[in-house]
Amino acid sequence: MSSVDRRTFAKLAAAFGATAGFGDLFPVTSSSGWRERRDLFPEGVASGDSDHDSVLLWTRCPQPAGTSPVHLTVEVAEDLQFSRVVAHANAYASSAADWTSRVLVGGLHPAKVYWYRFTDSAGNGSRIGRTMTAPDPGDSRPVAFAFVSCQNTNQGAQSAYRRMIFEDERAPEGAQLGFVLHLGDFIYEIVWYPEDRPQGMYDRRIRDIVRYPTGEKIDDFHIPVNLEDYRAIYRAYLHDPDVQDARARWPFVNMWDNHEFSWLGWQSLQKFEGATRPAQTRKVAANQAFFEFQPARMARPNGDSLEQFNGPKVVDTPISQFDDHGLGIETNNLAAIGSLKGYRALQWGRNIDLIVTDQRSYRSEEPTGMQQAKALLSNDFPEMMPQQAMEILDAARAYNNGNPPAAIRSIDGSFEIPNVWKSRPPQTILGAEQKTWFLEKLNTSKATWKIWGNTTATLEMRADPQNLPAGVAKPWPWPGYAGFAIQDWSTSYVERGEIYDFVQNRGITGFVTVAGDRHSFWAGLAAKSLPPNSFSPVGVAFVTGSISAPGIVEALEHGLPKDHPLRALYVGQAQTDSKPQPTLNMLLRHGVKSCLEYAKTGDVQKARASSNPDLSPHVAFVDMGGHGYSIVRATSQAIETEFVCIPRPLERSDREDGGPLNYRVKFHSPLWQSGQLPKLELQIVEGDPKFSI
């Protein structure tokens, strides 16, 4: 690397808050005197956002308050013994970044495994981490990565990572995972203290993971209110042994979802107990903590310092004006959401371009979660909202070619609510600026597979209560299907359609979406609309089950009344079953008649025979109760996605392999040509995901 290159590289590193390290010409034996002292590096090590010749390395080395910055060295070696050290660099940690340290090491070889460790001047060292560089952009070798989301150490065990590590350690070298794409909810900022919920949560025991230094108690849980609080929750999560081991084994590509800032947060607003409140200071604090704890190639507008986040000084200010895309044009809001730019693209050889987007910072207000939409929900049809009503809310002033109705019927038709959405712009999840960037990335990508790393799920989630036979329950009072108001792309009809039209019109092939957030496994086809409208898929789409956070099936098992007339559609139980079954999966995949048939006969085959083929032609697989992780394997001819589902992770497994599996399934998609329809072939490798297929 020439000196000019070095200067440019150092600038690049500084933009990510990292010192720069360079590969040495010849490997040497370590001279750092490293002796492992994990107690002095209690959050372990991590690496992130590899490219073909560089990777970000991270650790935290806390010191007593008032101590001056600590100088560290980082070594990168070709071997675990560090007899072939190929790069070393100075790093330092200070209180300004909560003693976290970032180093961007360049000059590495592509597609190669490296080992790294940090050492202080006294020879005290971190644990050893393992990382990997990406293949060269022109290298068409097969590649693999995992995608995960939603880990909750307050309420569950992270045994999914243990299983992932176990299998990857035993995989042949060319088949090992290159990186882990973490699609958010790495932390849950909402924390229950054990005394707040002695009865636990659903099936879960509440763990005492953190006490916020300041915090705010809402209802029976606690939320962070400032930088120290957000730092405290990241530290708590990194003390989980399985999370820490996973970070030490693979480079992570991290993107926040909602819980890195706030449960019902959007832009720099929070929503609690039905009220929206400005939270610009908290959004900046959340971004700063993310910057400090997640090594990522994310730019800060004032990011020329290695340590200082240099976040904008903001004041919590109500937002009253929104632009044509629902973006709050209030100075503190714009400064807060602009304090860390999360969306970015990474290349992993010839076969993968990974385009990662931010679904929370720029989105307009989610319409189905608004107070006024409550009239569209009813306990008679749990979780369901009329699809037609949700289309009115989503398209807002653009509905019906710009002629939205003045009022909307309540779900049971007994009264009308004013259409408060009719003067609003259509819902956007990406926001205008990010969407332009995203479509441009899709359009110019030369990779075989254009992989959209999307923290929230895209596959539409609907049911057919209009097909309920008379006498089972009250008749469904709306024409057509029901959707589920789950506040993701499922009901973002307009913007999802816009993106899929773009893919179709530009003849873009190899369009794959990987997502999280929904706490469920889904595999299917990316389609703008479903029957009775046209059905024309433009890609394949997947959602990964949560690592550990509870899903809707578990919630329904505890919350749905035993005598609910529609219980068979959600957590049904045939006479032959000893406990409730996740029949919600069958409802989404096959419809109400299949669920009723199952309740009557306990025969899954027979139940599937009553499938409504128009309900979900886009869904190949759905498991609303599954936990675990997902793997993508890409070659220049095909892509394969694997779901590894574990039992409900209530307690940490003491087994080396992380415990037993519920099932393992794979979906194979050969590369399609422009104009051809994408296909998914299901292969059940082990277990029986019976209601999911």
Closest approach of Fe ion to the CB of residue 552, in Å = 11
Across 466-504, b (16+ Cβ under 10 Å) vs e yields bbbeeeebeebbbebbbbbbbbbbbbbbbbbebbbebbb
153 or 448: CB nearest Fe ion = 153
Closest approach of Fe ion to the CB of residue 632, in Å = 20
449 or 521: CB nearest Fe ion = 521
Please give the C-alpha separations between residue 33 and each of 118, 119, 122, in angstroms, as whole numbers: 11, 8, 8
150 or 346: CB nearest Fe ion = 150
CA angle, 481 as apex, 553 and 624 as ends, to 5°? 15
224 or 386: CB nearest Fe ion = 224
Q: Can you read off the two tokens belonging to residue 285?
A: 């604090």
Beta bridge partners, 266, equal 269
Closest approach of Fe ion to the CB of residue 146, in Å = 17
152 or 448: CB nearest Fe ion = 152
Closest approach of Fe ion to the CB of residue 169, in Å = 27
Please give the C-alpha separations between residue 240 and each of 43, 584, 654, in angstroms, as whole numbers: 9, 32, 14
Beta bridge partners, 285, equal none
The single residue listed with the structure tokens 């969407």 is: 435
Closest approach of Fe ion to the CB of residue 150, in Å = 3
The single residue listed with the structure tokens 């005492």 is: 208
Q: Can you read off the two tokens belonging to residue 396?
A: 């807002």
150 or 248: CB nearest Fe ion = 150
| Chain contacts with Fe ion (rule: CB under 5 A) | 150, 185, 549
Angle at which helices 493-505 and 387-395 cross, to 10°: 80
149 or 448: CB nearest Fe ion = 149
567 or 627: CB nearest Fe ion = 627
Q: Which of 470, 474, 477 is nearest to 411 (CA)?
A: 477
Contacts of 91 (CB under 8 A, 6+ apart): 19, 21, 57, 59, 71, 72, 73, 74, 101, 102, 103, 118
Q: Please measure the distance between the N-terminal and C-terminal CA atoms of the chain and give it in whole angstroms.
A: 53
How far apart CA 341 and CA 339 sit, in angstroms, is 7
Closest approach of Fe ion to the CB of residue 151, in Å = 9
Q: Which of 427, 283, 456 is nearest to 357 (CA)?
A: 456
